[in-house]
C-alpha cells in the first residue's frame, strides 16, 4: 500500500460534514472511519464552539486535534486545549452597540457559553470572548455593519452563511488553526485536504494541498477551491475520501 499523499482531512461542519438536518449520514461516517483506519487524521474545523462540536467528534470517535470557533481555539485532542485567542471585551461591547444600532440579530461565544441578542450579559468585561456574529437578511444593513467593523480594525471578518458576518481577532482563521494542527501532527499544510462551503473556509481552502468546496458552497469558495464535489446532502465528503484521498489505494 503506497504512502498517502494527504495525511490530514480538515472538515467544516455546518453545510459540509453535516447535512441540512445537522446530521452526519451513515455513509459519510463509514468513509471517515475507513480513512482513519488507513492512517488519515480527521480534524473538525468549525465556526462552532467546542461544546457545540464535541457531540459530533464523539459520534465519529475522533481523538485527533480539532479547530473550533474559526481558529480561535485549537485542541490537541478532545478536552485538551492547545491554544486560545481571545477578543478584547471593549470590541465585544462596541459590536453589541452596532448590533443594536442597526436592529440586527447578533450573538457571541464566550469560552463558556453562547450569548445572543435576546440572552445577553451585563458582565462583558468579566468574560473571555472568542467570536462575535451578526445575522441579517437585509443586504444594505449587512453592508453598513461591515463598513463600521472595517473602521474598528484588528478584526478577521468572514461568514458561515450568506446572511451573516463572523468576527474573530485579526489573523485568526481556520487556516491559522489548521496550521497549528499540522505542527502538532508533524505534517505540512501541503499534506492537508480541507473541505468547506462558506467564507470562513476560504483561507484554509487556499492554504492547503487540496482545497475542496462542497456543491452547496458559496460561489467565491467554489472559485477558490481546487475541486468542487457533491453537496452536503449528497455525501460530498464520501467523494473526497474515496476519489481523492484513498484513490489508487
Active site residues: 12
CA nearest neighbour of 169 among 70, 114, 87:
87
How does strand 80-84 pair with strand 210-213? Answer: unpaired
Are 71 and 181 in contact, with CB atoms under 8 Å apart?
no
Residue carrying the nine cell digits 470557533: 69
Contact 249, 38 (CB under 8 A): yes
75: cell is: 485542541
Could you give the CA distance from residue 249 to residue 246 in angstroms, rounded to a whole number? 5
Amino acid at each position: 500500500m503506497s504512502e498517502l499523499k494527504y495525511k490530514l482531512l480538515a472538515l467544516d461542519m455546518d453545510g459540509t460534514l453535516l447535512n441540512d438536518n445537522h446530521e452526519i449520514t451513515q455513509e459519510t461516517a463509514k468513509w471517515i472511519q475507513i480513512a482513519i483506519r488507513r492512517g488519515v487524521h480527521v480534524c473538525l474545523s468549525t465556526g462552532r464552539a467546542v461544546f457545540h462540536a464535541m457531540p459530533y467528534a464523539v459520534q465519529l470517535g475522533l481523538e485527533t486535534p480539532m479547530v473550533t470557533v474559526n481558529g480561535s481555539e485549537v485542541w490537541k485532542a478532545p478536552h485538551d486545549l492547545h491554544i486560545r485567542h481571545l477578543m478584547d471585551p471593549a470590541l465585544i461591547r462596541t459590536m453589541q452597540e452596532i448590533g443594536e444600532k442597526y436592529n440586527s440579530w447578533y450573538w457571541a461565544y464566550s469560552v463558556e457559553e453562547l450569548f445572543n441578542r435576546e440572552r445577553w450579559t451585563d458582565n462583558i468585561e468579566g468574560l473571555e470572548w472568542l467570536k462575535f456574529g451578526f445575522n441579517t437578511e437585509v443586504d444594505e444593513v449587512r453592508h453598513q455593519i461591515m463598513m463600521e467593523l472595517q473602521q474598528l480594525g484588528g478584526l478577521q471578518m468572514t461568514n458561515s452563511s450568506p446572511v451573516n458576518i463572523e468576527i474573530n481577532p485579526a489573523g485568526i482563521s481556520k487556516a491559522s488553526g489548521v496550521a497549528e494542527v499540522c505542527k502538532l501532527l508533524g505534517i505540512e499544510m501541503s499534506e492537508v485536504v480541507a473541505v468547506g462551503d462558506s467564507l470562513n473556509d476560504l483561507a484554509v481552502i487556499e492554504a492547503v494541498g487540496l482545497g475542496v468546496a462542497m456543491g452547496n458552497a458559496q460561489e467565491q469558495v467554489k472559485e477558490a477551491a481546487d475541486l468542487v464535489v457533491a453537496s452536503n446532502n449528497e455525501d460530498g465528503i464520501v467523494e473526497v475520501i474515496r476519489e481523492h484521498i484513498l484513490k489508487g489505494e
